[in-house]
Amino acid sequence: MNAYSKTPLLDTIRTPDDLRKLKVEQVRQVADELRQETIDAVSVTGGHFGAGLGVVELTTAIHYVFDTPRDRLIWDVGHQAYPHKILTGRRDRIRTLRTGGGLSGFTKRSESDYDPFGAAHSSTSISAGLGMAVARDLAGGKNNVIAVIGDGAMSAGMAYEAMNNAGAMNSRLIVILNDNDMSIAPPVGAMSAYLSRLYSGKTYRTLRDAAKQINKRLPKILANRANRVEEYSRGFMMDGGTLFEELGFYYVGPIDGHNLDHLLPVLKNVRDMETGPILVHVVTQKGKGYGPAEASADKYHAVVKFDVATGTQAKSKPNAPAYQNVFGQSLVKEAEKDDKIVAITAAMPSGTGVDIFNKAFPDRTFDVGIAEQHAVTFAAGLATEGYKPFCAIYSTFLQRGYDQIVHDVAIQNLPVRFAIDRAGLVGADGATHAGSFDNAYLGCLPNMVIMAAADESDLVHMVATQVAINDRPSALRYPRGEGRGIEMPDVGIPLEIGKGRMIRQGNKIALLSFGTRLAECEKAADELAAHGLSTSIADARFMKPLDTELVLKLARDHDVLITIEEGSVGGFGSHVAQFLTDQGVLDTGLVRFRTMVLPDVFQDHDTPAAMYGRAGLDAKGIVAKVFEALGKDVKTETVKLA
């Protein structure tokens, strides 16, 4: 053992089996060292931070008390699981978090047996845990299943659907509510207020204290009963129940999630209960144990690399505005002219730029919590009354509201405006957060207008275009990160619906881009020109309705036509192909047509540039696709067209 190590006890722990060999009085030291290691690791890697710090004691206690991985431990969302990863055989790789080939920033089944369920979207843990518990019961097993869910995730209906089902089935499932009074945004909704009242109410605390005093005077055999405190305190309470009990859960808590003298005995009692389901209400502090995080409004929810001593984050100055900020600022300008414009977000105000709108128009901003289904239908209701709702949701999260998009918006032809952030590959968050499928899942819907901004200037005009579309739903997609640093318009001017634009005119190769791959198309065209291939570039702007006149012209005037998009198969390229085949254009063999889409795999996390390179959607990949269409070797210096 290194005599100078800051983490001498943690250094002896490879897996939770090692942790469980320690004396109970040593667990506090493990937790303290685990917090130090988490801080040091994330200062190097960046990533989600505050939530992990808040569950250090809880993580240590769970692994000490329960027999993981035989007991199944599910972390809802999974962004708080860095301490869990350190304790479960992954400490030697913890500084590879969110980098190419490194550890995932979320739980991942293929990464470890200690991750029984992969998660990066919220509110799935209770459903998955119930499935595991029922599978155990069917197989005659005896292991525990523990789902740890935060109060931000409790704003989603799926958590209650699962609890309702679990309560009715009476299966032995343990749910730990990690109540840190925070989601990414300030807590919204009655649920957060309810929890706060429940554990801070004077009546409850007084009765609870009385129950504890009575408990001290009871014979030891009674005092050791697992449910002692809760039974007595409930006996004193007038209505005798909570929301969770009404759903069929045995409620334990609230308890201090940083006090191991409370946590360990309660978890042991819960472990040994033979009935279920059980909900343990644990109160924690996000960012606990690191001063700069505790002092920050968002408790350092997610960070880039930072200096441990000061907490200063090493964020480089962007040379161009972030797309989400361009969206927020553009929407504010439009809303200054139109008091019917309202903005809706599902617990991601800063991530979508809706926070900018909220500062200007707080009464016209609605954060509905992690409830995308509700957000979409709520927007539909606003639209029926003549308002102009902008529903700003990441592509990956909008998937969760798909039935509502179809049934409540599209079928009724309501002018809900979907602002789809994080379109395309997103880098360090990986496959769970990639905006890969919205072109495909929205493109098949009647009545939907679908746009993609090629740059930040285009985004300004497209926001204005959405404001003007008042007879049907519309979707506008744009990526994560900064724009190109080009000159920005003072005001947005609505675009002609379904019309693209020519960027560069050539006569041999045509590149038809949908979205921000346009910059890579321009690089590719320069290289193709060096090979003697005159290349046209067009920006489609609209996937639906398609600029059929532009598509036909490109197909008829060039030898090769290639579509490029930041989405899966079934999207823009498929719509162009459908049109060309219906028109018989491809029957003649005069144009060689290809589509470039994301590969038909879930790509692991890396930098966006590396991910697009592997996907073949960078300039190099576009040039290679052109040469492939020509039947030539990309390494050949000169090409003679057939």
Q: Which tens digits make up the pLDDT trace of 20-60?
A: 999 999 999 999 999 999 988 888 888 788 888 899 999 99
Who's near 3: CB < 8 A, 6+ residues apart?
Answer: none
- Spatial distance between the Cα atoms of 536 and 362, rounded to a whole number of angstroms: 46
> Do you know the residue count of the chain?
642
What angle do helix axes 260-272 and 56-65 make, rounded to 10 degrees?
A: 40
Per-residue pLDDT reduced to its tens digit, 382-440: 999 999 999 999 999 999 999 999 999 999 999 999 999 999 999 888 888 889 999 99
Query: Does position 191 have pLDDT exceeding 80, yes or no?
Result: no
For residue 220, the model assigns a pLDDT of 53
Phi-psi region of 561 (alpha: psi -120 to 50; beta: other; left: phi over 0): beta
Query: Does position 217 have pLDDT exceeding 90, yes or no?
Result: no
Per-residue pLDDT reduced to its tens digit, 137-149: 999 999 999 999 9
Cβ contact 495:541 at 8 Å: yes
Per-residue pLDDT reduced to its tens digit, 313-334: 777 666 789 999 999 999 999 9
Pick from 601, 603, 605: nearest CA to 97: 605
Helix (H) or strand (E) holding 177: strand 174-179
Q: How confident is the model at residue 296 (pLDDT cuts 50, 70, 90)?
A: confident
501 is catalytic: no
Cβ contact 60:34 at 8 Å: yes
Pick from 17, 57, 540: nearest CA to 266: 57
C-alpha gyration radius of the chain: 28
Regarding beta strands 501-504 and 388-394, do their DSSP bridges make them parallel or antiparallel, or are they unpaired?
Answer: unpaired
* Catalytic residue chosen out of the listed positions 85, 98, 286, 422: 286
Cβ contact 593:555 at 8 Å: yes
- Spatial distance between the Cα atoms of 42 and 238, rounded to a whole number of angstroms: 47
400 is catalytic: yes
Who's near 163: CB < 8 A, 6+ residues apart?
Answer: 126, 175, 244, 247, 248, 249, 277, 279
What number of H helices and E strands is found in the chain?
27, 19
Q: How confident is the model at residue 186 (pLDDT cuts 50, 70, 90)?
A: very low
Percent of the chain having pLDDT more than 70? 88
* Catalytic residue chosen out of the listed positions 57, 372, 456, 520: 372
Identify the weakest region by mean pLDDT among 174-183, 259-268, 343-352. 174-183
286 is catalytic: yes
For residue 157, the model assigns a pLDDT of 86
* Catalytic residue chosen out of the listed positions 400, 544, 592, 625: 400
Q: How confident is the model at residue 547 (pLDDT cuts 50, 70, 90)?
A: very high
- Spatial distance between the Cα atoms of 313 and 308, rounded to a whole number of angstroms: 9
Mean pLDDT of 158-165: 90
Q: What is the DSSP letter of 322?
A: B
Q: How confident is the model at residue 253 (pLDDT cuts 50, 70, 90)?
A: confident
Question: What is the side-by-side order of every strand in the sheet holding 250-256?
Answer: 72-75, 145-150, 174-179, 278-283, 250-256
Mean pLDDT of 258-284: 89
Query: Does position 379 have pLDDT exceeding 70, yes or no?
Result: yes
- Spatial distance between the Cα atoms of 490 and 510, rounded to a whole number of angstroms: 32
Mean pLDDT of 556-574: 97
Per-residue pLDDT reduced to its tens digit, 489-526: 999 999 999 999 999 999 999 999 999 999 999 999 99
Cβ contact 353:476 at 8 Å: no
Q: How confident is the model at residue 2 (pLDDT cuts 50, 70, 90)?
A: low
Q: Mean pLDDT for the chain? A: 87
| Stronger pLDDT, 616 or 311, i.e. the higher one | 616
